[in-house]
Structure 1
Amino acid sequence: MLASPNSVKNTCSNEVQRDRTLIRMKSLISRAKRFVHSQFHAHWRTEPIKPGTVLYESFNGNGMLCNPEAIFRQLLATPDMRQLRHIWVLADLRQFRSTVAEFAGARNVTFVRYGTPSYYRALATSEYLINNATFPPQFSKRPGQTYLNTWHGTPLKRMGYDIDRGALGTANIIRNFVAADYLLAANPFMAEQMYEKAYKLSGISRSLIIEEGYPRIDRQALDTDSVAAGRARLTSAGIPLGDRTIVLYAPTWKGASFARPEDDIDQLLDHIARLTAQIDTSKYVVLLKTHQIVHALARSRPELSRLLVPNNIPTNVVLGLTGVLITDYSSIFFDFLATGRPILFFTPDLADYSDSRGLYFEPEDWPGPVCRTSDELAVELAEILVTGTLPAGSAARYRTSQQKFCGQEDGRVSARIIDIVFRGNVRRHHVRPAVSQNRPSILMYLGGMRSNGITTSALNLLNNIDHSRFDVSACFIQSKAPASIDNQLAINPAVRQFPRVGGINGSALDQLARHLDFRRGRISRHQEQPTQKTLWDDEWTRCFGDSHFDFVVDFSGYGPFWAALLLHSPESIRSIWLHNDLAADAHRKITGKKRMLHSLTQIFTLYEQYDHLVSVSPTLSAINNRQLAPYAAPAKFTFALNTADAKQILSAASQDLRETTRNLETGITPDWVEVLLADDKTTNFVSVGRLSPEKNQARLIRAFNIVHTATPTTRLVLVGDGPLRGQLESLIRKLGLEKSVVLTGEIPNPYTVLAASDCFALSSNYEGQPMVILEALVLGLPIVTVEFGSVKNALPPGFGLVVPQTDEDLAEGLNAFLTGEVRSGTFDHAAYTRLAVEQFYSAIGAARPEDLIQQM
């Protein structure tokens, strides 16, 4: 019997409901676990640091590996370090049971599982912290802790900001780097290119860079007993090694994301099979060493059970056993250089990899033959196995690379690192601070990075600041929203980014107190109440480590959390921006509610703790000074005009309107685009802004209705979205303007619409210094605007027309454009920008005396 449609429908509905319930339950369980862990972490952060405890972590607990493992074993063998207690982080104690078993009898060595309460206890209370990657977002170094970040290799492939879109992945890395007391560099290239340049630590980091080589490379110097022991470990792992020479194939991971590597195991198997077919397998064996993040994929493949090097055998021990190394772009070859043995590079995807990731050295500089096919690789390998040496050209490059990258590798690096970090003998060794460029440093909070006037103004300013004069950093909340990511990618490449990841540490009770203070209007207690001050000070350290900034700027001015946090910057001159008539903003109603009243009032109470309160025009400064007088002294109020990025505006405006508005999934262009571009002799008025009460687009629509009734060959285009869209659509229908008024919604490039229009119109109740007026000026558009408090600073003399705030007067202004009475002039945007930028320097207290004289 066939099931009835209703029965099938009910079954599907029940399954969907059951799936939703399971998802909600999993989410609640996950949130509960995070809460429990955060409370354990908060508790242990209040406990004393345990002297003599050392916490080690490699690749988020993926084994006892890399530099931390080498330092750990050297500490165990160092007589004056026997008092230390060692805690190792492992992702799975069962998976690494052989490691745990090795130290079962050692009372001073313990293990914790990554992410557990025990882990956070050790992270919060250990005196020494050693990591070859990064601690999680919750981590914040406490006073009394010493943090050594060893990283995990000299880079061949580009890192950090040197990668296209690389800034998106730097958040937790740079946070760890600026928190570290010591950064370990295997060689000067790594110190300069990776730490100081690729991660922009030059000029801001207070960490000491150690250039004494890599401890893990010490592990490659194996005596006869160590060689026998290492080979026995491989044999016991199921690899039929015998007395054969090891040819180690060690490719790096592939894919777009480190968190989700590409599964290329089938390709690796094919490469190994081709190599094995070309060599004497009675003398040589090809083994596979995968990257840490790929190992789980490889371990699950039975075909690799007799070829795969176990993850619990240190890589450098395996390198010490290896006769020939084959790799691609992995930093493993820098380590192997110290052995003096042959290296082959196998790069069938060289062009694609170089284009997508980028390389620091071209293949012609690599210390070994570079092969593009498996057959070519097999021929080169066979020749090297016969001769035991590299070809002449490769041998010369090999020697050069050894001198450049292995100058400190003498088998005693671990001992020197211990002398520096644990005994404090810094001056005896190659230890130096990160390069200081002697530029004043500025930290700017940019806001929520949504596409709005504040974000545009911030991005423009970052483009116009003189970066040869100032070291500039930007902070904001890390977001996955496409528009926010686009705005983050638009940040000037000279700017260091501190995207905030993770949340504020602290017990549930302290967090509740913080929230209650905010709700009760007592946010100023962030400095007054000791527990709250500690909470906020810790959050500053969590976000910015040991960084110090000369000038700290809350450029948003609308977020109470950030307004409070930035006041915990050590030894800074602090400024906060006032982009609007904030008293009016506080009382602005959206759908009948004053949604910003409480948050803005809280920010007002912080004004007395800031050094400068910066409005975006002189008139607006006077308005805010008058309206906000109860909150701050008059001398604190100042101004700096918004800047415009004319080059970017003109470039964006020159793009094709159809292309910039086409839906990427459907390929369809909105109907209004063709209407706007039609050669129908229609005059297009345009306005850009959020559809919210203070912008008062309803007045503009009513005024346009008056104009359109008399002159039907007119059109109004409103670019933007917001809470009043429904009301505006109703008004358009009521007035019968459906074919003459276009609501485009939010679009990624509004400049193409401005460029396709004839006159810009603004109908706001109040404004600061509208970015859209600056943009219209740059594009040479005639401007009609209603009068608002700061309009005389927003519209330069001789430009545009200002009319009273009524429907009829605005209609007269639009008609004045139609009769040729409103014209555009030539806006000297370069001179304007120079003035605005110097005003910014002056407003934050960074102007030089000679600059102030020039402005007088």
Structure 2
Amino acid sequence: MPIRLPSAARSLPSRARRIVAAEQIAAARMLPLRPRTVVYESFAGNGALCNPEAIFRALLADPEFADLEHVWAISEPGAAAALKREFRGVRNVRVVRRGGAAYWRAVSTAGYLVNNATFPPAFGKRTGQVYLNTWHGTPLKLMGFDMPGGAMESANTLRNLLAADYLLAANPFMTEVMYEGAYQLRNVYRGEIIEEGYPRIDRQRLSDADAARLRAELAGSVEAALDGRRLVLFAPTWRGSSFQSPDADLAHLASQAQRLQEEIGPDAVVLVKTHQVVHGLARRIPALARLLVPNTIPTNALLGLADALVTDYSSIFFDYLATGRPIGFLVPDGDAYAAERGTYVPLDELPGPVRTDPAALGRDLAALLAPGAEQHPQYATWAERFTPYEDGHATERVVDVVFRGRTEGRRVRRPARDGRVRLLFYLGGIRMNGITTSAVNLLNSLDPERYDVTALMALPRGETTRRNQQRLNPGIRQVFRIGGMNGLKIRQVLRRVADVSTDPLRAHRRLGHRTLWHDEWTRIFGSAKFDWVADFSGYSPFWAHLMLHSPRAVRAIWLHNEMAADRERTVAGRQPFRHSLGRVFAMYRAYDQLVSVSPALTELNRVELAAYAPADRFRTLRNLPDAVNASAAAAPPADADIDVDPDEPWRVALRAPGARRFVTVGRLSTEKNHARLVRAFAQVHADAPDTQLFIVGGGPLAAALREQVAAAGLEESVFLTGPQADPISIMRASDCFVLSSDYEGQPMVLIEAAQLGLPIVSTAFGSAEGALPGDAMLIVERDDAALAEGMRAFLGGGVPPTTLDVAEYTAEVLAQFDVLVPDPE
């Protein structure tokens, strides 16, 4: 039986609630589907509204569907109570509280799901369910990836759209600009788009009896006298930017309505339709309450009754175009809004007068409402473009497709395929490290004409990870894993135990864990299909396992280091990768390509990991560099505008004249062996006291290194800068780059140093040979004396500057990448 969430659990911390919800979902998913049950949800449970409501009422009234059970998910108590009153005694209509145990049971077992927005992150569609997402309007405002910061904001929306079997579009604009473009469904979405108009707009075609009933309901709900006057509906968007002072803003709304009324004249009455979330607040303001339309009246029924509409950026006006009646746009912040949020169409091209002053707009509307007045000159063009299918029968056609399976003669299509190869990269936690840098550089360099690129990431939560996420080109589809894997807690525990104690690939086949992984993949990606998928991170057993559950594709995993050595790495007496990398290694045999980042590293990994994968699966793809400006007059460092202490010792030392400076950049961890570098520098500095060493980076060994520097008496010449947003500026001010690592992959800092033209001295880690094109880098043995000699060789003029033809190098790497990827289907 499903696990019920007791009322006391509603006050649990959010993580605990997610765990309980996951248990509820897991239990519900073990129940059989109920093919004749339909679950409806609108605006995260705000009420029985919009397209889902229109579809619900059509199905309920059709004898052919008398056997359907209808379940509404509602979170707003007043809306739930009203719906229960209306359908009291109707056995096949019930209401569940959104987020409760009954909700998850309904969502997990219903044969049909209808939503105009999004189900929560924990939702994952089961095989056999039919999911129709109707969305809630043609957008004027930028949506999805077109919005500033839209990739993260759209995470759950994209997840829901990819999961849907059907998406509803009122017009071709929604299909092409919003679904295919703004939400980047082109190429990867495998469901169908129904382009047949909006069911909710059918409700605008009122009979005389319906119109009379609505007017009577309005007359009993507002203080303003309706008499026989025409109705002007004022329905502005609520943008959520001013909830800190809602009363003042709503009072301003009342003032705008009053000024509209004064200019439109006594033959019409202005009524106000507020956003649902502020309706209760609006009722507290007397000047507004007398004009306020009750939320119980469906918006599209109001549009059918209204003689004119005033709005700002709301998609409500697209629906109203189907009436042929006047629209006015009141946009006092139009310029700022267009600049900050953005619109798909310039405001001065809208199908009605656009004003910043309500009095001026009132005069314009009075003229448009006058007998014999002509339509606004752009109105007919907009109506033809955005409401071409609104003939009052959109609901019937949508029901035909979704519930009857009739597509003949219906406008149903899949998103366009443009022939590009569909790539998916898991990028890891996108922290500030070489893996993130190389991933961003590679993805940003791929040919957008040849490749359709998707980046999968954990949801960025800190400033650094958000900054890295924002470095990706806007054309790259970004998918974030939000929420967690569903499944009974005991099954999750057994999965983890089996993954650790046995071969993870055999465990999931033998113990039935395959379903958990499959469900998680579909929870994130729906039915999306890729041609080539890559775990670019390469260190996490969870992600290595998950990527193997993509639908059929070529699968690659990155080996950024000498992985056998990395597995044995010791940090503070512990081996953090001992078990996790062992589990990753066990999955190598299921990958088609094991990609190392230099030729020498490929050979090392091929030999050292021979027990885990055939030799022919080991491939090479070098890292790509950031474009680095070698000029000393380059742009200021990234932290130039933040509060830094210019008298910090390392900053003062970097400005001191006459010093010869060594620099290294990297995480302060065991494999980098900075302790060796400090010891070698001590030998050099004893003979050349004008030398300095700058160690840029942070990590677990920072405190130990500071102690070592102090014990050696080098505090005036060795400087630990900590992690820096712009290490290039420190490298640019230095004379020689030095690397003291025991093992590496292909260090990004070597490529950056080469672009700067710095001489480079490096220890002979396993893949040092070939880490850069050419042989200008001086490679020495991995011991203190040899490293000191290498640094002395630089001081004596024996280490020439390195050079790197970035364009030639990039072209070579991208040609290597093309070899990895299959031709498109």
TM-score for both structures, normalised by structure 1: 0.91
Aligned to 2:595: 614
Aligned to 2:317: 333
Aligned to 2:822: 846
Residue 278 of structure 1 aligns to a residue in which SS?
Answer: helix
Q: Report deviation, 1:55.
A: 0.8
Q: How does 1:822-833 map to 2 (within 5 A)?
A: 822-833=799-810
Contact 2:242–2:249 under 8 Å retained in 1: no
Runs of at least 5 residues in structure 1 that lack an aligned partner in the other structure: 1-24, 849-856
Aligned to 1:754: 731
Q: How does 1:215-614 map to 2 (within 5 A)?
A: 215-243=199-227, 244-255=229-240, 264-281=249-266, 283-295=267-279, 297-299=281-283, 301=285, 303-387=287-371, 389=373, 395-525=376-506, 527-529=508-510, 531-614=512-595
2:671 is equivalent to residue 694 of structure 1? yes
Distance 1:237 1:72 in 2: 26
Distance 2:116 2:372 in 1: 34
Q: Which amino acid in structure 2 is aligned with residue 146 of structure 1?
A: V
Q: Report deviation, 1:379.
A: 2.7
Q: How does 1:775-854 map to 2 (within 5 A)?
A: 775-842=752-819, 844-846=820-822
Q: How does 1:720-739 map to 2 (within 5 A)?
A: 720-739=697-716
Distance 1:109 1:28 in 2: 31
Q: Report deviation, 1:29.
A: 5.1
Q: How does 1:593-742 map to 2 (within 5 A)?
A: 593-646=574-627, 649-650=628-629, 656-657=635-636, 660-662=638-640, 664=642, 666=643, 668-669=645-646, 671-672=648-649, 674-675=651-652, 677-678=654-655, 680-742=657-719
Q: Report deviation, 1:48.
A: 1.0
Q: 1:95–1:84: structure 2 CA closer, same or farther, 3 Å change rule?
A: closer
Residue 788 of structure 1 aligns to a residue in which SS?
Answer: coil
Aligned to 2:190: 206
Percent identity over paired residues: 49
Q: Report deviation, 1:256.
A: 6.0
Q: Report deviation, 1:381.
A: 3.2
Aligned to 1:58: 42
Aligned to 2:6: none
Distance 2:269 2:325 in 1: 16
Q: Report deviation, 1:270.
A: 2.6
Aligned-residue CA RMSD (Å): 2.4
Distance 2:730 2:152 in 1: 30
Contact 1:263–1:294 under 8 Å retained in 2: no
Q: Report deviation, 1:389.
A: 3.7
Distance 1:184 1:670 in 2: 61
Contact 1:510–1:531 under 8 Å retained in 2: no
1:43 to 21, 27, 34: 27
Q: Report deviation, 1:159.
A: 0.9
Distance 1:231 1:400 in 2: 31
Q: Report deviation, 1:180.
A: 0.7
Q: State how many pairs are aligned.
A: 815
Q: Report deviation, 1:77.
A: 2.2
Residue 421 of structure 1 aligns to a residue in which SS?
Answer: helix
Q: 1:120–1:162: structure 2 CA closer, same or farther, 3 Å change rule?
A: same
Contact 1:218–1:411 under 8 Å retained in 2: yes
Q: 1:816–1:57: structure 2 CA closer, same or farther, 3 Å change rule?
A: same
Q: Deviations over 1:691-711 (max 9, x none)?
A: 101011111122222222222
Aligned to 1:92: 76
Contact 1:758–1:782 under 8 Å retained in 2: yes
Q: 1:296–1:762: structure 2 CA closer, same or farther, 3 Å change rule?
A: farther
Q: Report deviation, 1:526.
A: 5.2
Mean CA deviation greater in 250-259 or 356-365: 250-259
Contact 1:253–1:261 under 8 Å retained in 2: no
Aligned to 2:5: none
Distance 2:401 2:448 in 1: 35
Distance 1:553 1:570 in 2: 13
Contact 1:697–1:764 under 8 Å retained in 2: yes
Q: Deviations over 1:809-846 (max 9, x none)?
A: 2122122222222122431121111221222232x343
Q: Which amino acid in structure 2 is aligned with residue 195 of structure 1?
A: Y
TM-score for both structures, normalised by structure 2: 0.95
Contact 1:616–1:642 under 8 Å retained in 2: yes
Q: 1:271–1:676: structure 2 CA closer, same or farther, 3 Å change rule?
A: farther
Distance 1:763 1:667 in 2: 29
Q: 1:592–1:299: structure 2 CA closer, same or farther, 3 Å change rule?
A: farther
Residue 606 of structure 1 aligns to a residue in which SS?
Answer: helix
Runs of at least 5 residues in structure 2 that lack an aligned partner in the other structure: 1-8
Q: Which amino acid in structure 1 is aligned with residue 639 of structure 2?
A: T
Residue 792 of structure 1 aligns to a residue in which SS?
Answer: coil
Contact 2:421–2:823 under 8 Å retained in 1: no
Q: Report deviation, 1:494.
A: 2.1
Q: 1:353–1:29: structure 2 CA closer, same or farther, 3 Å change rule?
A: closer
2:164 to 169, 180, 191: 180
Q: Deviations over 1:448-502 (max 9, x none)?
A: 1101000001001101212211211110111211111111111122211111111
Distance 1:508 1:801 in 2: 55
Residue 833 of structure 1 aligns to a residue in which SS?
Answer: helix
Q: Report deviation, 1:656.
A: 4.2
